[in-house]
């Protein structure tokens, strides 16, 4: 059991369906930002010939490249923090699933121990109260 926990600890997506759904919710603002950058770049591209020379020389292209790099950086940042934050949900869920599967199979209930900051700690406490009552 201990080796399984160590392998689980290094797995980036513990509950892929749950974590990907969570990441998708974080990704919508990123898509909005990408849309704004695409609109800005398109506007500059379409109006490039009508822009005064001094405007071109002031770095419109550099601003566009900078906005693209900032967007890419934000996407990577959201993905990394999304996965890390979703561990506070997914890790405890895996522990709860395992303990409940053991109970279903007729084994004795083992007390759930979750980290203090895990999102499911309240649920774990209630499950401990239910099963350890007898």
Give the domain ranges of the chain.
12-131
Read off the pLDDT of residues 69-124 as tens digits, 9 standing for 90 and up: 877 887 887 788 778 777 878 888 888 899 999 989 999 888 888 887 677 777 88
Residue 14 has pLDDT above 70, yes or no: yes
| Average pLDDT estimate for 8-37 | 75
pLDDT at residue number 7: 59
**Predicted structure pTM score:** 0.53
Residue 8 has pLDDT above 70, yes or no: no
Q: What is the spatial distance between Cα 17 and Cα 94, in angstroms, rounded to a whole number?
A: 13
| Average pLDDT estimate for 40-69 | 71
Residue 57 has pLDDT above 70, yes or no: no
pLDDT at residue number 41: 74
């Amino acid at each position: 059991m201990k080796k399984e926990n160590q392998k689980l600890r290094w797995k980036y997506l513990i509950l892929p369906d749950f974590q990907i759904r969570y990441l998708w919710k974080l990704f919508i603002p990123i898509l909005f930002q990408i849309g704004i950058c695409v609109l800005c770049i398109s506007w500059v591209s379409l109006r490039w010939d009508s822009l005064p020379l001094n405007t071109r020389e002031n770095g419109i292209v550099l601003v566009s490249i900078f906005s693209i790099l900032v967007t890419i950086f934000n996407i990577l940042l959201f993905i990394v923090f999304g996965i890390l934050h979703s561990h506070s949900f997914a890790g405890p869920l895996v522990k709860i699933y395992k303990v409940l599967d053991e109970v279903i199979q007729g084994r004795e209930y083992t007390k759930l121990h979750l980290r203090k900051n895990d999102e499911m700690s309240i649920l774990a406490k209630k499950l401990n109260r239910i099963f350890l009552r007898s």
